[in-house]
Structure 1
Amino acid sequence: MVPVRLTGPRLAVREYHHTEEDVDALHALFGDPEVTRHLPFGPSDREDCADQIELYLEEAMAEERDTYRLAVTRLADAEEPADATPIGQASLTLDGHRAAQLGCVLARACWGRGYAGETVGLLCDFAFGALGLHRLTARVAVDNAASVKVLTGLGFRLEERPRHDAAGDGARSGSFHYALRADRWPGAGVRVPAAG
């Protein structure tokens, strides 16, 4: 495994560690009903989060890695970003055709600070640079205006209008599907939109 470590102006994106701190941080994230409101699953308990990190580490060790689920940390939280407590999760799921689905979720206390834009920008740089991908997609719940603003601020374009997708509570919810091609990404630095 070649560990992923991405660094922006305020944030670092790194591999998860199977430590109490990372499990607690993931549980603080995925155990919060307000955070999982726009995700395709409901709140998770701590044991599920520990199992998830184990899965993330197995995915990272795959001979041909196609899934990146990474911890988002603040640079100011530790001398070494690898030791900082996660405040969110960033993900890329490759589809085998030089494309991937992108995801980003942050702890509620971190909303509205531009962290989502910085995180998605780091993922775009990684996807279109090191991974050599051609296209990224993102699915956003129709009532998640903050995520729409982040994506459109970074150049993502709406490709598909609302449709019925599974929501965290088992109900159906509409979602927007956004996409960005590599030739539309500037590739130099991370652009951080105002909201996020």
Structure 2
Amino acid sequence: MAKECWRKGYTKEARKLVYDFAFNQLGVDEIHAQAWEKNGNSCKSMERVGFKLVRQEERVFEKYGRFFQENHYCLTKETWEIIKDSYWIPFRYVMDGMASFFCC
């Protein structure tokens, strides 16, 4: 995601739709995700919606040619069903003169 779009709630909005679709329409039981340990915002973001850290793996980050810890997370359907309603807190957001509802 482009840096100018960070911290505007777009990921949260998309995440809610994608996770609901994956669990309820596709019938998956788990969603897995990875983030570099040093990417604290991504790690915290996943943990806030119920992802649990399942393992860490040292891998080469090719962009820098160095080893970094990669965190591997898992979100279960059961956890998402418990968390999703408290995660989805609508607020009024005005964009291009049109009022819409987005999550915060």
Deviations 1:122-145 (A, max 9, x none): 221111011100111110101111
Provide the identity percentage.
28
5+ residue gaps, structure 1: 1-105
Deviations 1:31-78 (A, max 9, x none): xxxxxxxxxxxxxxxxxxxxxxxxxxxxxxxxxxxxxxxxxxxxxxxx
Change (3 A) 1:192 1:147: farther
Q: Which residue of 1 aligns with 2:51?
A: 156
Runs of 4+ off more than 3 Å:
187-190
Quick check: 1:120 aligned with 2:34?
no
Q: Distance in 1 between matches of 2:33 and 2:86?
A: 18
Q: Which residue of 2 aligns with 1:139?
A: 34
Amino acid at match of 1:158: L
TM-score (norm 2): 0.70
Q: Distance in 1 between matches of 2:37 and 2:62?
A: 14
Between 1 and 2, higher relative CO (CA 8 Å, sep ≥ 6) is seen in: 2
1:36-115 alignment to 2 at 5 Å?
Answer: 106-115=1-10
The match for 1:166 among 60, 67, 70 is: 60
Q: Which residue of 2 aligns with 1:182?
A: 77
Deviations 1:163-185 (A, max 9, x none): 22232416232111110111111
Give the number of equivalent residue pairs: 88
Name the SS of the counterpart of 1:133 in structure 2.
coil
Q: Give the number of the structure whose residues are more often helix, by fraction.
A: 2
- More moved, 184-193 vs 107-116: 184-193
TM-score (norm 1): 0.40
The match for 1:130 among 10, 20, 25 is: 25
Residue pair 1:142, 1:175 contacting (<8 A) in 2 also: yes
Q: Which residue of 1 aligns with 2:98?
A: none
Residue pair 1:159, 1:179 contacting (<8 A) in 2 also: yes
What's the RMSD between the two structures over aligned residues?
2.5
